[in-house]
Amino acid sequence: MRIVHCAPFNTITKSGGALYANPVKISLGLIENGCFVHNFDYRDTARYFSMFKNKKSGSGKMNAHFRKIVSEIKPDLVVFGHAELISDDSFEYVKQKNIPMIFWYNDVPFPAKLNQIKHYFSHIFTTAHSSLYSFLPNPVHSSIEHGLSWQKDTWKYDLLFSGRSDKEREELISFVKKNIPCKQKFIGQTKDTTIIGDKYFQTIIDSKICLNHNRNFSLKHKWFTSDRLMHILGNGSFALSTPIINGEDFFDDKLDYYHNLDELKDKVQYYLSHKKERLEKARWLNKRVHKLFSAKRVGTYILDTFAEKNLDSYEWYCG
């Protein structure tokens, strides 16, 4: 099967982020299922076509180039990820060529534009469970998340938090700094503290405990978590997470949650002093996510959903 995958691949902007970007891993999974996949980074292409490197002003030429690619490659399927700059003319162009289209969206809430364009797609996937759409797990890949933090003897940091700054996270960071005495590392809150690529992964691997702190508004969505959790578990580090609704469907009782900051303090102190239990859980979760959520298996699931077959074999399929 020939596929054009139109998504933000971080080809130029944040190029190191391509190491762990979901679009890259989704394409790898499709390729490992025998597909030809052409990756089209619509955001960076739009910037390329703009005199001022502004993606909105370059979107017209980007859309024309996208239609040219579809015309020349003649794909059997077009996969869109986010696609906020793709014009209705481009969707109509693909539709008129009788090429099926599917769409995936990472994170919540769902974009307003999806309501306007959803009729173009045979299937829609989101990383937050919805009764309207198919669930899409955040994938891992053995050539990407290949760290084995649970095998280490020493670590640089006791506690790591990665995430962009907002009011909720500022409260978290302030509490941790004042109330949890340990060697801490905070990354990603500002441009100056953001690290990407291999250095980001190595920081995770060098941390005893990594926080997976999802924003409060996301906690009502079944199975939803930031792809940050896959970066942590996929690299064999130990995670403490805000609650994931029905997370036990995937993680049994091995992924530990904190429901408030005082509980976070208690659990950080507990796991820092219970090394064996921490490493055993990290090892189990590392193997679990590579088994359930490998990019190849997620790619197989996307193709099976498109073909409407074998879906009962997936733990997250709801019928």
pLDDT tens-digit profile, the chain (319 residues)? 999 999 999 888 888 888 999 999 999 999 999 999 999 999 999 999 998 889 999 999 999 999 999 999 999 999 999 999 999 999 999 999 999 999 999 987 677 889 999 999 999 999 998 888 999 999 999 999 999 999 999 999 999 999 888 888 899 999 999 999 999 999 999 888 999 999 999 999 999 999 999 988 777 899 999 999 999 999 999 999 999 999 999 999 999 999 999 999 999 999 999 999 999 999 999 999 999 999 999 999 999 999 999 999 999 998 7
Q: Which CATH entry fits the domain spanning 149-292: 3.30.390.10, 3.40.50.2000, 3.40.1280.10, 3.40.640.10?
A: 3.40.50.2000
Task: Give residues with Cβ within 8 angstroms of 98, minimum separation 6.
Answer: none
* Beta strand pairing call for 256-257 and 238-241: parallel
pLDDT of residue 206: 98
Q: Which residues pair with 2 in a beta bridge?
A: 36
pTM of the full predicted structure?
Answer: 0.96
Domain ranges of the chain: 2-139+294-313, 149-292
pLDDT of residue 172: 95
CATH topology of domain 2-139+294-313: Rossmann fold (3.40.50)
pLDDT of residue 218: 77
- Mapped onto helix, strand or coil, the DSSP state of residue 249 is helix
Q: Give every strand in the sheet of 157-162, ordered side by side.
A: 184-187, 157-162, 207-212, 238-241, 256-257
Task: Give residues with Cβ within 8 angstroms of 135, minimum separation 6.
Answer: 125, 126, 127, 128, 129, 223, 316, 317, 318
pLDDT of residue 11: 86
CA Rg, the chain, in Å? Answer: 20
Q: How far is CA 93 from CA 60, 89, 123, 306, in A?
A: 14, 6, 18, 20
* Amino acid identity for residue 280 in this structure: E
* Beta strand pairing call for 207-212 and 134-135: unpaired
